[in-house]
Structure 1
Amino acid sequence: MNSRTLSVPSWQADWLPRLVVLAQDRRLSALVALLLIVLLAKALAGLTWTLLPAPAENMAGFVPPGSAPTQTRSAPARVSAASIERLHLFGEAGKAAPKVAAKVVDAPDTRLNLKLHGVLASDNAVIARAIIADGKGLEDAYAVDDKLPGNAVLKEIHADRIILEHRGRLETLRLPKDAKTLVNNRVAMNSIPGRRSAAAISASTTDTGALLRQYRDALVTDPQSVMELVRAEPVRDHSTGKLKGYRVRPGRDRQLLSRFGLRAGDVVTSINGIPMDNPLKALELMRDVTTLSQINLEVERNGTSQSFSFQID
């Protein structure tokens, strides 16, 4: 097994735990690609990226209920730039943040066949998300004012429940007691720069740090364009059909992978010891990423495993 080490300056990634964690192959592919872009670019440039101005002061690991979660969607799909844009992980450019109620509304429990699997609670409703499963067990992530199964609309997201509107009245869907919440108490969106697309970034920029800073700004304001930098798609074991990792390919930035010794077609099987064989396992990485001192990638290349280690001083 080959191993490569790159020493880079220390950094902070306070914003990463605020990413919405999704359980579907389609969306996790986008999340893995986004995570790789940020981790690799971060290690290369040694930048301090504060995409959201105020750090979270009350973070807890988000863990879906149940000790043996099962994958709810069986058909994998290729990652698309549009899918990451629809997530609006950092909010929509030019869209005012929905107001958040100062206290929880006392509404009766809903009778809709929905289950609340997890929440990302925030004072800023642009950031808040709720992971909800319908009667068939299919999960999705929803923001405030999104339409829910059963002709309901999500109105509020709190640490232990959500408030939805159904047939003109407010109802409550509660988080199971054995589930945990990722809480972000202080998030402001007022200092996000104006909309800037990765396509508008000058190709003549030679300073790596400056180029990555431009990509950083584009990541905040136009995530769709940034998704073109690196692409990822789920890879399944031929014999079992189970997910085993994500194949990465260069996108608009043809050199981003090669700067770290990665090649087109490499299959990332684990990140920092966390196997990428189950979408929900990425939750562990999101929870612990702020304390990382080293980035370790396990990659399968032409049937051979290779290790890539990026030391963070």
Structure 2
Amino acid sequence: MGQIAIRFAALNPRERRFLVVGAAALAAFLLYLLLPEGVEPGGERAGEAARGPVPAFHPPAAPTPAIPSPPSRAAPAATLSGLVLRGVLGGGAAIIGFPDGNQRSVPVGREFLPGVTLKEVALRHVILATASGESRLEFNKPASEAASAAGAVAAAKTPEAERRGRETLEFRAGLMPFEEDGRIRGFAIRPGASLAIFQRAGLRPGDVIVSVNGQAFRSEEKVLELSGELASAKTIEIDFVRGGRRITGKVEPRANRRQ
């Protein structure tokens, strides 16, 4: 050691700095070789500080058992009790009375109560469709009193009944009440209406029909009964008012004309 110190003292300042720097570099290299792999001089393994603490292990939670949904309740059966047919309208619609006293216009194909649909409209009745079958609802009769047998429904579908049903709908759509002093005095032909029987008698839109075959024509019931009365009459005589003047038109039903 003494010889090393003497030789070190004999060196000039530049050589001493060079030797000190070289010794420091050699010491750092030896320290790197002697430390275990992955351990830094501070005592921690490389990367542990960067990674942070190891999260605690938590076992997966047990799956929550599914809660069974309550059983679905069947919809209540459709009830027709208390329904009353109040009238039929042109275009395939009916006026239905309800148990609470209200009434509403219902078109064919409309479900107006849960499970109850208006299926057909005829002269004096309508057919209601439900899940349990078809029922017949007659004028001013509760549904519980109306016939619902399949035979009654089939009887209503004869060609003659269908023809009269179509005519009744045409009359109901083509005629509108004409009122004076709050009372119905007759039924006027609507603009654009095409009613063959009245056209053959010389009537035009705007004319007010006041009687048919001598009977006053002043109620909805007369409109509904008109098709049947015309079919059975040999001659049809229609009194109407045009421009304040009363006129009478006569025509024969088509059935009589073919004979």
TM-score normalised per structure 1: 0.35
Larger gyration radius, structure 1 or structure 2: 2
The structure in which a higher percent of residues are helix is 2
Asked which structure has the greater RCO (Cα within 8 Å, sep 6+), the reply is 1
